[in-house]
Amino acid sequence: MKNQKTRAMIFSFLVLLVPTLAYGASLIPCGQPVGTANIVLNGTSFPTTDPCGFNDLMILGNTIVHFLMYDVSVPLLALGFMYAGARLVIFQDKEGEWSKAKKSFEDMAMGFGMMLGAYVLIKFILAQFLNTAGGFTLFLLQ
């Protein structure tokens, strides 16, 4: 019971920490104030903003995919590999635990490979909609 409470507390802390990462990511590329001029409407002053378009929507999708691929999944994969490696070291003599740890390595590698394939597919689709003057390889590494 105590172990479940500890896990729940750690999970809640991580869930509360994720919005701070998203806040610092500056995901939306448009709608930011431009210059110092303000628009006055019915006595209320609004800052002049950069309008959003279709290209900005595609850039937003690209930014979200990049954030999830690099800033979320790679650290989680590293933590998973460390955990499975620790299980391999700790349970050297137990054949059942050893095979479970090896299976978790395989599952994580397979999952990351599938995610990487989906990432390349999404980047390819986004490259068709966006103006990628530098070529697809440069856009893929962006």
Query: Which residues share a beta bridge with 40?
Result: 45
pLDDT at 77: 93
Q: How far apart are CA 119 and CA 96, in angstroms?
A: 34
Place of tokens 């090896």: 102
Which segments in the chain show pLDDT lower than 70? Answer: 1, 20-27, 29, 31-50, 130-142
For residue 33, the surrounding DSSP H or E stretch is strand 33-41
Rg (CA), the chain: 22
pTM passes above 0.85: no
Instruction: List, for residues 59-80, the tens digit of each pLDDT value.
Output: 787 788 788 888 889 999 999 9
Give the span between the Cα atoms of 96 and 26, in whole angstroms.
46
CB contact at 8 A, 106 and 126:
no
